[in-house]
């Protein structure tokens, strides 16, 4: 009885590992396969929503999938002083992940000019970390 139970558990674990691996590859596969024009428009619209949870979710996935088209709304969120700190920080991190010049310039600008000390410090750290990890960025963007 104990051997049958162990076999069932082993089979279950193997099936679980195989299916999670397959779904993981589909979920995190090539951006072009996952992002249709409608998907991208949905993320852009979600970033402009009044639903805070939707906005935060769209911020996360914009950075994860490196959706260039979301940079302008992300910069708008980053510059919006009425947004909470975590939302603005998340927008900055998504811009960092995307690596867009316009977005990085906005982060640099806030690191130098923001009246909010926390935002200034965080944007400065994010911008300098980007420079440290992308040595060629300054040669193409003085």
List own/partner pairs for 46-49 with CB under 8 A and 24 or more apart: 47/73, 47/74, 47/76, 47/77, 48/73
Q: What is the percentage of the chain residues whose pLDDT exceeds 70?
A: 73
Task: Give me the pLDDT at residue 136, please.
Answer: 77
Cβ(130)–Cβ(104) under 8 Å?
Answer: yes
Weakest-pLDDT range from 28-42, 93-107, 126-140? 28-42
The 10s digit of each residue's pLDDT in 74-119 is 999 999 999 999 999 999 999 999 999 999 999 999 999 999 999 9
CA distance 50 to 38: 20
Structural class in CATH, domain 35-140 = mainly alpha
Helix (H) or strand (E) holding 47: helix 37-47
**What tokens appear for 3 in the block?**
């051997």
Q: Where are the domains of the chain?
A: 1-30, 35-140
d(CA 74, CA 134): 21
**What does the block give as tokens for 97?**
């992940």
Reported pTM: 0.74
């Amino acid at each position: 009885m104990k051997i049958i139970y162990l076999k069932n558990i082993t089979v279950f674990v193997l099936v679980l590992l195989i299916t999670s691996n397959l779904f993981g590859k589909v979920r995190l596969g090539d951006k072009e396969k996952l992002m249709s024009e409608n998907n991208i428009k949905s993320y852009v619209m979600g970033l402009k929503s009044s639903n805070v949870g939707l906005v935060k979710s769209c911020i996360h996935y914009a950075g994860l999938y490196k959706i260039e088209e979301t940079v302008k709304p992300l910069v708008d969120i980053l510059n919006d002083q009425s947004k909470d700190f975590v939302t603005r920080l998340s927008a900055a991190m998504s811009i960092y992940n995307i690596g867009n010049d316009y977005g990085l310039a906005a982060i640099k600008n806030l690191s130098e000019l923001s009246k909010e000390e926390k935002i200034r410090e965080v944007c400065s750290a994010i911008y300098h970390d980007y420079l440290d990890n992308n040595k060629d960025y300054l040669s193409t963007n003085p």
